[in-house]
Each structure stands twice: as structure tokens, then as C-alpha cells.
Amino acid sequence: MDERGTDAARRSVVIAPTGMVATSQPLAVQTGIAILRAGGTAVDAAIAVNAMLGLVEPMSCGIGGDLFAIVWEDRSKSLIGLNGSGRSPHSLSCETLADKGFRQIPLRGPLSWTIPGCVDGWFALHERFGGLPMTDILAPAIHYAKTGFPVTPVIARAWQEATKMLSEDPCAAETFLHCGKAPTCGAVFRNPDLADTLSLIAKNGKDAFYRGRIAREIVSFSNKAGGYLSAADFSGHFSSWVKPVSVSYHGYEVWELPPNTQGLAVLEMLQIIAGFDPERLERNSTDYLHLLIEAKKLAYADRARFYADPDYSDVPVKGLIEEGYAREQRTRINLEKAAAEVPAGDPCLNNGDTVYLTVVDGDRNAVSFIQSVYHGFGSGIVPGHLGFVLQNRGTLFSLDRDHPNRLEPHKRPFHTIIPGFVTQKGKPVFSFGVMGGDQQPQGQVQILLNIIDFHMDAQRAGDALRFRHAGSCSPTGYAMHDGGIVYLEPGIPAAVAAGLRKKGHCVEYRQDGYGGYQGIWMDPVTNMLYGGSEPRKDGCAIGY
């Protein structure tokens, strides 16, 4: 198969003049469009979409998790960031777990819990950018939680794969399994407990979650399950407004949120890659992929060394993405040989289940929005009869006392989920994201190069075949010592794989694991919207 074949579009780009929604499940997309048609803002629609996704795609997201968002406010012509991630319990520290014999935080279970930030994030966004009442915004998710919805194919597969894990927690089994089985494709699923929980939130606001009955039930459950969550942990939670950071890339400004997210890795990769003129290479050729992989190794080494909660660590944000540092990093890349050992520069991440959504409204406000419970069904535990799982983000803390991302009381862990945004000459042009844990920065870079350097539209950029490099540095360790593994999506020519192996890469073909992209391109000349949606997921883009 030639390179032109590997980039063939799998569906047409969606074009609309007024508003648009793109995400990974069709019913959620339709919900967002209905909110926009009812006069809601982009943020109103995003919250409604997220609430619906928490129902229809519960392995990936929900109110037991965290969120991050970048909002373009057309009135002020500015970008605003929201960090809606939660913190560790006040009573939990490295010493606490070390005394219990733990060398790392378990992937599942109550020790992986941090305070869910999603609901507070909803209300922070709504207070600043919303228009419709929250009762109207949450009504569609409440309705379908009561009456049921048909499970879509990709989501059904992920649900079925989690059956064994869900069956190990009685409340999770009662909530998400029927007679011990996950719903199949096309089966109608209901979640009346979640309907009740969302109804409480719609009626009583965020206090229902952080100070009222929901918080009390979670804390009571935590006490019985061996967790450390307290009433003070919930009542003391707050989201943070943050300033997005950017680099210039070939005439565009690419924006990400600062740590505790991994968005800086996107910007550092772009700065490194820009000096090699990637548009002069054949896309997905051996030399092209080698360059991206080596740049990724360098950025992820810095990610492992420096990214942490900025309230606890001095993260060198400017230094990591400045041009001078990028020049130094480029000298570390051997264009003919793969690096096997990559320490951090000087200035356990694998899979994550996440949802990404983006909305543009008729006033050209836009929101890039990402939300997750981390691994599939998060911690694997449903706290009683509330209808949702609690996230396992705490597993991303290090128990190394010298690590900047070490577990400390009331601290935000390193976070994988990153919304992206692009402007040009002060105008918004692209709201996008790529869900998928460790894949997110390398997936975003591939999408950006497809659009900016290879002039693909918003749909074709996501359809194009991707790579994923795994085995790089994690936020609980500093260096990579074996070069990792390069996974190629089937369809990338075998000659390319052979060329990469010749340069020293370990290469395997793999069908999945390349993330889930959504994006809306806002043409600054025609004002038309162009939507793209990940063909590897169930969703779509819809405009009006």
C-alpha cells in the first residue's frame, strides 16, 4: 500500500455555518446540538455532552473523575484554561503507604482515589460562561439514565472486557452488569442510581456533591473500604483558572495547559521537530517517524523529571518550551540511530480511558474539553448506590520521596488528559484533542502536523494512520533504558517498519491504542466550521 493509500479519508469532513459538536458517542453529540439550538452556549453544550458521556461511556469518564478545559471567549478574544483535577486525601502520604509495605500505589482500589473534580469543574465553567439553567443542561442525561440508551459497538467491547474487574466489586457489578454480564452492542442500558445522583446535582448545585448527601455517602463508603477520603477533602476542593501556554509552529500558535497536565510535552515536541522541517519529509516515512519518535523520547524524559503539581514543585514551564532549549535538544537526536537511553534534559503510563469533546457555538465561543476516570472504569469501585465509579488518578503519584510528583497530602497528581487549541493571528482556528493516556501528546503532534504541514482537513487528519511509542519515561521514574517499542497501525508499509528497525527501533504492528481524536476547524476567512471525529471510536461530528 502506498502512502497515499494510508492517508485515504474514511469519512467526509462535516461542514456547518453556525455551531458544531464532536465527540465519541452519537447520542452525546446530539445532546450538545440540542442544547445549542435551545440557545445554550458552547460551555452549556459541553457540560451536557460530558454528562451524557458519563452515562453512555462509563468506562472512560463520569462524575467520579477529573476534567480540564480551554475556552475561547469571543467577547474578550481570549483563551482561558480550567484545571478541574482533584487532590489526594489530607491524611495520605508516602510515609503512610510505606508503613503499610507499599512500594507503589495500587492501580485499582481505594488507595488510588483522589477527590473527583468533574462536578466542580462543570459549575466553575457554567458560572463564567454558561447561559441555560443547569437543570436544563443535565436533563437529557437524567432522562436517558432513567429510560435507557442503546450501547454502541466500541463501547460495548470495552465494557465486556471489564466484566471480570467489575464483578469483583459488588456495587460495580450491581450498577454496570446484568446477571453478571456486560451489555452487548445494541442492548438498552439504564442507570437509575446515576439519574438520582445527577438530579441532586441539578437541583442543589455542586454542594450536593462536595458538601451534601453524595459526599457523605462517598466518605462513609471510603471509611468502610479502607480509603482515606474525608468530608474535609470534599468541602475543601476547588478548581483553578490557569493561563494556557503556547509555542509558535509554522505560522500558528499551539496552546496547552501547564502542569500538572502533560500538555507541555506537545509544545516541546513541536519546538524540537520544527528545526528539522518535517514538511519536507514524506509523511509516515521511516525518516519522518524516526524524527517524531526521537523528539517524543526527549519530551517524555523531561515530563518524567519535571511535571508535577506546581503548588508543590517549581516546574520550569518557560525553560522547557523555549527555542534555545529546543536547539540543545535537537543536538541529542541522531537521525540515523534510535536512542536507547534518554535522561532528562537540563533547563507508569500505558493506557487510559478518557473522553474528549469540543463545541463551537453560534457566537464563535469554543471549548476544548477533556474528562476521564483514568483507566477503564477507574478504580473499579462504585461507592454504594450513586451510579458511577471513582477514578484511580492517585496511582500516578510516585512513592519516591525525592520525586517532584511524590504523593503528599492534598496534592494534585501528574495528569495525562490535555485539551488542545490553535490560534492564528489572534483568531481561533482549531479546537481539538486526542484521548488515550500516554498517547495523547504524541497523538496531538501527529494531528497538528497532518493539518499544518500536510494540509489535511479536520477529518482526514484523524483518519490518517498513526504510530505510538511506548516504554518511555513515566512520572514515577526518570529515565528510559531500552528504547521502548514503536507500535505502527496496520497499513503503514512494511518497508517503513524495516527502515525503523534498521535505525535500532523495536517495531510491532498493533490494531489499537492510537487514541481518540476529535476536532473542529474554524476557518478565519469564511467563518465556516469543519468537524472531524475519530473513526476508531463510535462518535461523530454534527453541525447546524
Helices (H), 489-529: 494-502
* Under 8 Å between Cβ of 309 and 412: yes
| Residue (of 308, 275, 307, 280) closest to 294 by Cα position | 275
Q: Which residue is catalytic, options 31, 41, 114, 354?
A: 354
Beta strands in 276-393 (DSSP E): 353-360, 366-374
Distance CA 88, CA 235 (A): 13
**How many Cβ atoms sit within 10 Å of the Cβ of residue 39?**
12
Joined grid coordinates for residue 506: 523495536
Beta bridge partners of 525: none
Contacting residues for 22 by C-beta, under 8 A, at least 6 apart? 14, 29, 357, 358, 359, 518, 519, 520, 531, 532, 533, 539, 540, 541, 542
Mapped onto helix, strand or coil, the DSSP state of residue 143 is: helix
Nearest CA to 538 out of 191, 189, 185, 195 is that of 185
How far apart are alpha carbons 299 and 322 in whole angstroms? 13
474 and 307 in contact (C-beta within 8 Å)? no
Cα–Cα dist 226/421, whole Å: 40
Residue 354 bears catalytic tag: yes
**Contact at 8 Å (CB) between 35 and 44?**
yes
Three-state helix/strand/coil letters over 384-406: CCCCCCCCCHHHHCECCCCCCCE
Question: CA 298, 303, 308: angle at the middle one, nearest 5?
Answer: 165
Phi, psi of 198, deg, nearest 5: -65, -35
Catalytically active residues are 354
